[in-house]
Amino acid sequence: MKKHKIAIMGFGTVGGGTYDILTQNRDHIRSTQGVDIEVKYVLDRSAESLEKRGADKSLFCSDVDALAADKEVELVVETMGGVEPAKTFITKMLRAGKSVVTANKELLAKSWSELEPIAKENGCGLFFEASCVGGVPIVRALGESFQGDKVQSIYGIINGTTNYILSKMSAEGVSYSQALAQAQALGFAEANPTSDVEGYDAAYKLSILGSLAFHTSLPYQSIYREGITRVTAADIVNAKRLGYEIKLLAIGKRCGNDIEARVHPVFVEKNHPLASVSGAFNAVYLHGDFVGDLMFYGAGAGAHPTGSAIVSDIVKALCGKPTYCDFDNNGKLDKSVNLVGDFLSGYYICVTVDDKAGVLSRISTILSDNGVSIKAATQVPSDGNAATVVFLTHPSREHSVMRSLESIGKLASVRNIDSVIRVL
């Protein structure tokens, strides 16, 4: 059996997890897949990271050009994260004809259209199952299943940190900042949580998954993005009272030839399969015009789930021919679709008003004048002659709701627009 030599660039959590699998299950992979995979180099800043994970120090390598020049190395795993130097390093490897397996959603979302042509030119592949939803094979599914379907929508809980925080808020009634602090203490959130809590991470992944689902290039910059930092304990209470859970969803939706792409908190009905996806778990809920509704559920991150996806890509890369998405060629691109910023959605709106006659009626009139139809409304007194008004609307145009809110905010009797959260 041929021995395939590979290298790992970046030996943090995911690089180390990949190494664990390749060493601990090497015999199993050899006997069931017919490939023998040996890690020849681990590229990192110092040999210490190797020692920490129990890897042999002799694998240590710090010279990326020497790595690229080593003809024995067939394939390179990139688990450094971030754009640079990952992009430069990957480019070197692809130019040297080595296939690259990456978990780097940020780089992929930003530079897929540059990197794929380099891979193609050099007859090697760029594999990225691990970039989205950890060990859940959703990239494979979108790329290699449903070829007969027009995917109509994907709804994803694809960021574990925010799902952990929202689940904590829902289960324990704590505030956003308390839940964040707990998540940080347990390692579910980073010291600087911006990329997760502001929805950047989810937008990168939606860019990748949406591009695959809709056969088009879905630039991450075009994705509407709103994080969870403004979700309050009161919103969670209101949601529960109305029969919902609040989730940060990544939404890609096809309406005729229009595609919407957005990341924001969403009221999800309690009996929807996504509502019970809690803690750091992830899920992608998909609707195809023929296959109907499907859900993929699993650990969205972590050394071993993500490492599992990487090893799967390594085996795929070593055993078969690379395939390409060709979104920027004219090959397999669905040119009929276009990205739109307006969309239909239900809305939860929470407003603090003066507790006096006529306020509810004035707000309702504004909504109605803008074509926004109310499904449910409650008004309860709060402190200091104020009242809290909660609306749920029927599906309405985003633009109409935003126009309404502008007018509502200008009403003398409206003290504050506390929250606006879309409804699935």
Beta 60-61 vs 414-423: how paired, if at all? unpaired
Closest distance to a second copy from the beta carbon of 25 (Å): 6
Which position among 12, 97, 117, 273 is part of the footprint of a second copy (CB under 8 A)? 273
Site string for a second copy, 147-176 (x = CB under 8 A): xxxx--------------------------
Nearer to a second copy, 274 or 420 (CB): 274
- 92 catalytically annotated: no
Distance, CA of 422 to CA of 343 (rounded, Å) = 11
DSSP state of 372: P
Which helix (H) or strand (E) segment holds residue 388: the answer is strand 386-393
Q: Give the whole-angstrom CA distance, residue 258 versus residue 260.
A: 7
In the complex with a second copy, the residue whose CB is nearer, 133 or 390, is 133
Number of residues that bind a second copy (CB under 8 A): 57
Instruction: Report residue 367 as tokens.
Output: 């909504």
Name which position in 61, 75, 101, 315 contacts a second copy (CB under 8 A): 315
Catalytic pick from 205, 247, 253, 316? 205
By the 8 A CB rule, do 422 and 267 touch? yes
d(CA 273, CA 251): 15
Query: Which residues are within 8 A (CB) of 19 and not within 5 positions of it... i.e. 6 or more apart?
Result: 8, 11, 39, 42, 53, 55, 307
* Contact range with a second copy by CB under 8 A, out of 71-79, 218-226, 249-257, 301-309: 301-309
Judged by CB under 8 A, does residue 68 bind a second copy?
A: no
Q: Is 22 in the site for a second copy (CB under 8 A)?
A: yes
Half-sphere exposure of 169 (CA within 13 A, CB side): 30
Find how far residue 216's CA is from the centre of its chain. 17
Q: Which is nearer to a second copy, 135 or 193 (CB)?
A: 135
Measure the CA–CA gap between 344 and 423, rounded to whole angstroms. Answer: 10
Among 108, 136, 209, 246, binds a second copy (CB under 8 A): 136
Query: Given the complex with a second copy, which of 224 and 296 has the nearer CB atom?
Result: 296
Binding site for a second copy (CB under 8 A): 17, 20-22, 25, 28-29, 31-34, 129, 134-137, 140-141, 144-150, 215, 273, 276, 288-299, 302, 304-305, 307-309, 311-312, 314-316, 320, 331-332, 334-336
Active site residues: 205
